Structure 1
Amino acid sequence: MLKVRYLILSLFLIASFNLAVAQSTDTDSVVEQIVNQVEENSHLEELAHHLLDVIGPRLVGTPQQQHAHDWAVEKFAEWGIEARNEQYGEWRGWERGITHVDMVYPRVVSLEAMQLAWSPSTPAEGVTAGLVIIPEVEDRSEFEDWLPNVEGKFVMISMHQPTGRPGYNWDEWATEESKEAMQQTIAENTRNWRSRMQNTGLNTRSYIEALEEAGAAGIVISNWSQGFGTNRIFGANTSEIPTIDVLLEDYGMLYRLVENGHEPEIRVRTESEDLGMVPTFNTIAEIPGTEKPDEYIILSAHYDSWDGGTGATDNGTGSITMMEVARILSEVYPNPKRTILVGLWGGEEQGLNGSRAFVEDNPEIVDGVQALFNQDNGTGRVVSIQGEGFIHSYEYFTRWLSAVPSGVTDHIETNFPGMPSGGGTDHASFVAAGAPAFMMRSLSWDYWNYTWHTNRDTYDKIVFDDVKNNVKLIATLAYMASEDPETFDRERRVMPIDPRTGEQREWPQQRSPNRSGGN
């Protein structure tokens, strides 16, 4: 009898070993196919070209955003993946036309400038007018006495920057004395300009309304990103007169001409169109699960952008990464254990509206999330993953990352269980609802200086080797999370005490999205 038991135990151990070897072989084979697809059959350049060069920027409420959603559905269909556009709300529709700004006096030169999103158009012939600068006043009464001066003029409401060189230039080339003097000048100018605006007695919205009521021809701003030739062109127009963002170099020239009494004039012509309220969408693609179809792996990226550039690194790269991951998995892993969803969210830039709405509208999917992998914030290779406060995240990611090629994981730092990272991008909508959702954090590539919400966020800033790296990573993680025999344990850490109040902090809460908005 004892021999029989030993025989049964031996057979069980041999079977378990053989199963483990078979599973390891299967994993190696799938990961090898993922890598081969990325290296030998990448669609990333093609996807980026069509999304960024052909369709262009994807501001919520614009025809370009709708074109992007429709194109994604068509592209998924080409790959044999079922996809659909799901309406989550509506937004103020608007389409950018030609913006042309020229200085016509005291000399003629075309300026680098764009109107802000949702800004109204000018008459067909444009508007030619002089400029004035918000004055130094003691109080609101003095400001109101000055207001008649804006009639028929463009009003400059941004600070004149004392240098157009980014900080790293001063760090590398300036003497310590010169650098310190410039830092003091910047600090002093910033304080003085802040006081100048505060002394009007009005907040930003109310003093723009006051300028509009006083008959201003338009508003001129310059929102420098601290990089050469780069402005953050992401504000929204809130008035009935045009608002123009002029690049630092040209804005400074105009400012100095006004300040020194040369009375410059500019001609502004814009051809934008107000389209009324329009529907807004998320694009959802689905590869059905075969064993656990009610548990989900979600490939997450926001699909909308601001429209100063073409939204290449915010978040074209994240979007094409998730599309490419889905394409590859449909080829090498067509019958996943769990359902694989792609979420290309709309309205992220207005407050995570698309992902918040999806969470609110699909509680059964949120309850079934095994893992969500989100990518945003730039073209760089992923260098950081943290556990968002899920106590057992280390156990799962240890297994999942073990299958990722070492060349991909060598530069990734992990932090488990970590803390919930707040509302910066779409994974936060799911974390707030208790779902295990994780941000794939990228190497900077000067994202914050040069591409985030700027006029320079364009195709040529993409580093495709890094994007390919991220496709290998996320495709492997998605495969491993789908195949994992365990369902993700959602136990979360106790939040720490807030040192300011002495009270225990709470986990972020899911807020209802602003489904109907505008400016």
Structure 2
Amino acid sequence: MKTPIVSVLGALLLSAAPMLPATGLAVAAPAATTRSPDAIAADLAAKALASDLPMQIVTDLTTEIGPRLAGTEAEKRAADWAVARLKALGFDSVRQESFTITGWLRGEEKAEITGPAPQPLVVTALGTSVATPPEGIEAEVVVFKRYADLLAAPEGSLEGKIALVTEKTVRAQDGSGYGAAGLIRRAGASEAAKRGAVAYLLRSLGTHDHRFPHTGSQVYAEGAPKIPAAAISPPDAEQIERLVARGHTVKVKLKLTPSHPGTVTSQNIIAEVKGREKPDEIILIGAHLDSWDQGTGAIDDGAGVAVVTTAAKLIRDLPQRPKRTIRVVLFGAEEYGLLGAKAYAEAHKAEMGKHILATEADFGQGPVYAFNTRVADPKHPSIVRIQNALTPLGIYRGDNAAHGGPDIGPMMQHGVPVVNLALEGSDYFDTHHTPDDTIDRIERKRLNQTAAAYTVFAYLAAELDGDYRQARVADAPNTASGN
């Protein structure tokens, strides 16, 4: 059976090339300028579904560069690689925009239960964690099965002890389970320190049960002592829970040796497909180039880099470019707190009013299952046409409460309308921020469907007219509630 896209293409080809009764010869297809944007979008989707480019890009990035910790020489090599690749693909205005960040480097990381049943633990430091003393820290572990239980503990109750939160991350298609658990990693160390803890551990914020931990950033609160912070694998967290449940006092020794090299440089990479009529109006599609250092950053976010690059490349190769400019931004230092996104929003503050729509691919390989918006008029005719073009890819219309993606947040604060091409995330946190985030986790079919969705969206958003900051008068009272 033909897929919807193939059926549409077949109908278009037949209508574009009628047969002459007398000769049987086909009339030449009409020029690209006479074809509807919807037909061109269908062609683009078909090309993306069949393209080798998404897999080539993510494979090359993770193989030739590997992990790309923000502010390191590896991230700079990735930036140079991206510039060269984008120029070779024929993009306009390819450039780097540098900014400074506070650097952090992982060192040795080791943990073990020293009593009552000595055994090793699998551990990884959280980003920006301070080091333990050279000899490590050995102390009794206090287990909190819920983060709320830690917050309820009185000041001084953890004096001289190691706090361990073992709350699980709930698996969810949209990643909401991780969002709900995020504070456990980001703020837990400071909360434990306020109560006297000498170190902080958490059950890795992942949805798998394998014996490796997830890293990720954490932030020390003003005024709270800075204590070493790390994640342990899910089986190790459960092992400690079992020992405590049997009435044992569990002691753990933790040794972390991260370093802080001071002020270092990261960079955003920008490339464009200049619009033919409205080159100063921008449709932004982004991803982030940096990654954590445990794997090679294939899922997070080499896949996103491949998707947005492919989308812009396919549009760039059209006989006629769209009306508006499509801008690809590969953000730096996303994993350290959206630092590249904040630098971009500040550097381009004067042109935020010309950013017509923005979105990011930063939730793995997909596929895309829903089209969400945050625009003044969610029933704008061009939004309807974009949705209609996405429907054959198996994408349904979502809500009008989109966030655009992590790196899009700072732009959204400047009033930029955003969309989300919602990515299937049920398995995303199985590999996210772990040694398992490698190229063998990428599935071509999933990646290509995502590339097709971003291509369709970017092309139609750039070609069709629409002011997404302005609601129709009749709809104005209801825009806050979405569709």
- Change in CA separation of 1:278 and 1:21 when aligned onto 2, cut-off 3 Å: closer
The answer on 1:112 being equivalent to 2:122 is: yes
TM-score by length of 1: 0.67
- Change in CA separation of 1:489 and 1:249 when aligned onto 2, cut-off 3 Å: closer
> Counterpart of 1:387 in 2: which secondary structure?
strand
Whole-Å Cα distance in 2 between the matches of residues 26 and 506 of structure 1? Answer: 30
Within 5 Å, which residues of 2 pair with 1:89-488?
Answer: 89-103=99-113, 109-121=119-131, 127=136, 129=138, 131-133=140-142, 143=156, 147=159, 150=160, 155-159=161-165, 205=190, 207-208=192-193, 211=196, 216=198, 218-229=199-210, 232-236=214-218, 238=220, 241-257=227-243, 268-305=254-291, 309-332=295-318, 335-349=321-335, 352-391=338-377, 393-402=379-388, 407-408=392-393, 411-415=394-398, 418-422=399-403, 425-447=406-428, 450-451=430-431, 456-484=436-464, 486-488=465-467
CA contact (8 A) 1:315 1:376 kept: yes
Whole-Å Cα distance in 2 between the matches of residues 166 and 370 of structure 1? Answer: 35
CA contact (8 A) 1:297 1:369 kept: yes
Whole-Å Cα distance in 1 between the matches of residues 248 and 366 of structure 2? Answer: 46
2:20 match: none
1:23 match: 34
Whole-Å Cα distance in 2 between the matches of residues 392 and 421 of structure 1? Answer: 11
Structure 1, unaligned stretches of length 5 or more?
1-17, 169-193, 195-202, 498-504, 508-519
- Identity among equivalent pairs (%): 24
* Alpha-carbon shift at residue 156 of structure 1 (Å): 3.3
CA contact (8 A) 1:381 1:470 kept: yes
Whole-Å Cα distance in 1 between the matches of residues 108 and 153 of structure 2? Answer: 39
Whole-Å Cα distance in 2 between the matches of residues 398 and 32 of structure 1? Answer: 19
CA contact (8 A) 1:120 1:240 kept: yes
Whole-Å Cα distance in 1 between the matches of residues 205 and 39 of structure 2? Answer: 48
Match 2:46 to one of 32, 35, 48: 35
Amino acid in the other structure paired with 2:358 = L
CA contact (8 A) 1:221 1:246 kept: yes
* Alpha-carbon shift at residue 366 of structure 1 (Å): 2.6
**RMSD between aligned residues:** 4.3
1:45 match: 55
> Counterpart of 2:285 in 1: which secondary structure?
strand
- Change in CA separation of 1:68 and 1:292 when aligned onto 2, cut-off 3 Å: same
- Change in CA separation of 1:53 and 1:242 when aligned onto 2, cut-off 3 Å: farther
Amino acid in the other structure paired with 1:49 = T
Amino acid in the other structure paired with 1:478 = A
Whole-Å Cα distance in 1 between the matches of residues 239 and 219 of structure 2? Answer: 24
* Alpha-carbon shift at residue 468 of structure 1 (Å): 0.5
Whole-Å Cα distance in 2 between the matches of residues 489 and 387 of structure 1? Answer: 10
1:86 match: 97
> Counterpart of 2:406 in 1: which secondary structure?
coil
Whole-Å Cα distance in 2 between the matches of residues 71 and 369 of structure 1? Answer: 27
Displacement over 6 Å in runs of 4+: 18-21, 104-108, 134-139, 164-168, 261-265
Match 1:70 to one of 67, 80, 90: 80
* Alpha-carbon shift at residue 467 of structure 1 (Å): 1.7
Amino acid in the other structure paired with 2:56 = E
Whole-Å Cα distance in 2 between the matches of residues 85 and 270 of structure 1? Answer: 34
> Counterpart of 1:390 in 2: which secondary structure?
coil
* Alpha-carbon shift at residue 27 of structure 1 (Å): 6.8
CA contact (8 A) 2:366 2:423 kept: yes
Tell me which structure has the larger Cα radius of gyration.
1
* Alpha-carbon shift at residue 361 of structure 1 (Å): 3.0
